Chains A and B, each alone.
Chain A
């Protein structure tokens, strides 16, 4: 009751003005806010576009000012005034009396011409009429006669009717009437002919007048064009400026078709909107503009084959292509310094983006997607180095890695190790490989001495005996052996420290690493500890400073090695350093090995040097003088213990030694380490950082520190068994890029970089060159040939093959090269250095032959087939030219069994081999200018300077004659 009393006014009549007002105000405000938010907060790119427009406008205005200044400069102005004056004159001429007179004359002439033409036209129609009459007169005969015949009931085609027609026609033609008609026709034709020259004259006169008028007006047009041209750059810029001013903010996007696929592997369209803010990315002139407007730093190199319109941005850079804010677009925690701190902080928290952007060299990981077939991607050097390192180090022995599914184990077989290696050496080696070889790809497993003994015990126990060589080792002359090693070519692949002094003009290598137990060892250890301390996050270059590190990690840090990080295989470090051979091997094994490497290890890369028994004995004797054997007492007995062997087996199984080496009993063992085929997209929360709080929690940091110190994430419960490869930071970063590329991204064939036959030949050829270290002795593609430093002159060292104008593939016949590689014979048998027989397969020999042809731009297979016989005259002229009276070629060149005079150092290759070996056109090129092809060659140039009395002094003919003569030498 009371309640009702208090609100006497009924609800529907209560005034709601205030409520309406308040809510409508709220609505207005909300609308205002919504509009503002739409324009400002939600579209940050609009502001970027305004900025860019201002930037571009400034640039254009500057250019415009410069253009205007140039236009206003006295020289240009003088030109302008000159042109204007000329134009005024030309225009005056058009206005003037001369022009008018010409025009009037033209009009008159045109009228005359028209009259004349009409006259002729009239006569012509009269003539046509006349012609009709003449023809009709004859036709009438036929009509009449046939009509008559039909009326008489006769066949109109009958001969007598034809005859009657003919008779009628004759009569008609003879009639005076007809003759008059014909005469009139002739008269008319003559009249036309008489008129025509006059018409032609008039036409010509008209044309002349027209041309004169045109000349006058054209002069003016040309001047106007010239004036406009002077002004053109300014006009262009002005138009551009107008364009910029008229620009409305707009989302820029690239729709990419067919590069991405969905879960069902069907191509889908994706969209990249990066260019909405990165407006200058594909435009010249913004190289120094602030981000996000800068031109792509490698625009010219990349965009040619990877246009933005086809590939977009995120195919390489990752990130979210469709996003329109800085944060979402980059979706990464490592933005450039210039980005505001708060944005960076915001990004840092978002480490769980699916496709965070790649930065710096990491972008190269994307190249692998389409370029997987290329072992070397020219524009991705870091990725390429990573691939190379993985291939050399054999990471795939323990981890599954994409692209290395069929790779062979990188270490030597240990199936017959007992007859090769000294047991005490094995223990030392297993414990610390770099104690013996400063440069080796064998990593350090941080085994204790006990563990190393156990592994050695297993390997020795499970080693098969080696079959003896037909001839036996006997001690030889170390001195002769040393001479042989220094000359025959061993130093192309192996280093021997005491031989370094034989190099001409080169310094001795840094001191040899001391093997354990020798003086100076402690010092090394101290140094190692110092370096190990550096292997901590804080020392990393290019990484942000880390929080204080913990002490215990420091103690567990791995030792660093002298020569750490040098795993590159090539040049004299390709094969093992032999400086301490005696501590490792034995003479009997060395002898067998030198005589026939392939027999004792079928998969070896070591070539056969075709050494005589005595030579091999001498070399083995010499090598055993290097270093000394160390036999700790009691070791032999230790190695026999069954418990040791058992422990060794367990260790080998745990540490995965069989990933790189063939070991008896582990033929079917599985890879021991995690599969890395999808490691590139492994999420940070799935990575185990252990207690290493000093390492930043990112994928990049995880990988870096794991490779730098494989035990860094070790805890009591989670041992980390990966060995230490002693990599440099550069190498780690390269491998890291390769690991980032380990993702499952299917690529449509249209985007796949497939190699042409020639590219495959080059790539495969390079791989084989590396496999056998050809560049240890030869300069190929301007690299290698270091062994030459041991020889006093280039003529007695292995020859360069591909450098500058020298192209082996252009020089020799492909078939010859192929056959020769499989079974080389010395081309300069008098030299001490010799081309060894490499264990190349038929495929490898073919590929190498193809490789050299491809480098020289020659097709393959190239067959030299000379159908026609050599002309006897030319061969005879060539023989004369080569004789003692002229070029005296055999003063230096061997010819079959005929040897030149003098010491062998002065000899040159056997010319009777040329027929099967050299390409004829190369002989001409070589003779024309040997120094151009091989600077410093001993072969002097004979041309220009050919004799006058052979082939009439025609040098081109003389070159051909020499070629044909040389090609005619030797057995058929």
Chain B
């Protein structure tokens, strides 16, 4: 018993110091994106097609999702010009479930791949509207459970399904890992940012783009709070 404790203590020490060594010279950036003005009411969408599958979940307009305390979801925060860093994973998933894309905003490394899942078992199609990358319009019939796509150039790409007009998602293709997406409360966190002063780009599909200056110090967490307004 004692031995086990000792080993685990030693292991813990080693691991702790390793993670310390890694985190030693980096900081983090977190914060909140809020909405200026009264949050818009949730708009329920009418499901007009494939109701037996699509109607199983409620659909809301996702072009602007504001939480109860004004936090804006689905905002993409990008630290520009930061060097190094590693992606958590090279494989990212975008699911089609109940005729809804989850997540609404998906971050894909330009070196990695996006697995588009069809959990619905009906015909969807992946129609991207891109400029830097080649546009895609591929059918994903019932029998095709996974469709794998690559996006080699950094770009924020609108994606929709022509069979279900309300289905929209955004693919954020990025060549560095310093990208965060806000949750439904408007919070985001970007970890392991090397210290320095950066321009940070804040992008939302309907509220547009803003750029802020942020300083990140080693071992410290920088904060950024931005208020977005309707254009």
A→B interface (CB under 8 Å): 884-888, 891-892, 900-903, 905-906, 930-931, 935-942, 945, 947
Contacts and interface: CB of A to CB of B under 8 A. Distances in A.
Contact of B162 (A886, A935, A938, A947): A938
B13 interface: no
B141 A887 contact: yes
A886 B123 CA distance: 8
Interface string B113-136: 000000000110111000000010
Given A884-B123, A888-B142, A938-B127, 8 more contacts: A884-B122, A884-B142, A887-B139, A891-B50, A938-B162, A940-B125, A940-B127, A940-B139
Nearest to A930: B137
Contacts of A938: 127, 137, 162
A574 B110 CA distance: 49
Contact of B137 (A902, A905, A941, A945): A941
B224 to A, nearest CB: 34
B123 A891 contact: yes
Q: Which 8 A-B pairs have the closest CB atoms?
A: A902-B49, A888-B123, A940-B125, A940-B139, A901-B49, A902-B48, A942-B139, A940-B137
B137 A888 contact: no
B139 A902 contact: no
Given A901-B50, A940-B137, A945 B142 contact: no
A888 B141 CA distance: 7
B144 A903 contact: no
A906 B138 contact: no
Contacts of A884: 122-123, 142
Nearest to A890: B123
Main secondary structure of the interface of B (DSSP, over half): loop
17 contacts: A885-B143, A888-B122, A891-B123, A892-B163, A900-B49, A902-B48, A902-B49, A906-B49, A906-B162, A906-B163, A906-B165, A931-B135, A936-B135, A940-B126, A940-B127, A942-B138, A945-B139
Contacts of B122: 884, 888, 891
A903 B48 CA distance: 7
A280 B50 CA distance: 75
Given A938-B162, A940-B125, A886 B142 contact: yes
Given A901-B50, A940-B127, A886 B141 contact: yes
A830 to B, nearest CB: 14
A940 B165 contact: no
B176 to A, nearest CB: 30
A514 B118 CA distance: 61
A892 B161 CA distance: 12
Contacts of A939: 137
A931 B139 CA distance: 12
A945 B163 CA distance: 18
B123 A887 contact: yes
A943 to B, nearest CB: 9
Interface in B135-185: 135, 137-139, 141-144, 162-165
Contacts of B126: 940
Contacts of A905: 165
B139 A941 contact: yes
B126 to A, nearest CB: 8
B15 to A, nearest CB: 45
Contacts of B162: 892, 906, 938, 940
B141 A902 contact: no
A895 to B, nearest CB: 15
A947 B137 contact: no
B143 A886 contact: yes
Contacts of B165: 902-903, 905-906
B138 A941 contact: yes
Instruction: Output the residue of B48, B135, B163 with the most chain A CB within 10 A.
Output: B163
A940 B49 contact: no
A885 B142 contact: yes
Nearest to B126: A940
Contacts of A937: 137
Nearest to B50: A901
Most buried by A among B49, B122, B125, B162: B162
Interface string B41-81: 00000001110000000000000000000000000000000
B148 to A, nearest CB: 11
Nearest to B121: A885
A887 B124 CA distance: 10
Nearest to B142: A885
Contacts of B50: 891, 901
Given A887-B123, A888-B122, A903-B48, A945 B144 contact: yes
A417 to B, nearest CB: 49
Nearest to A950: B143
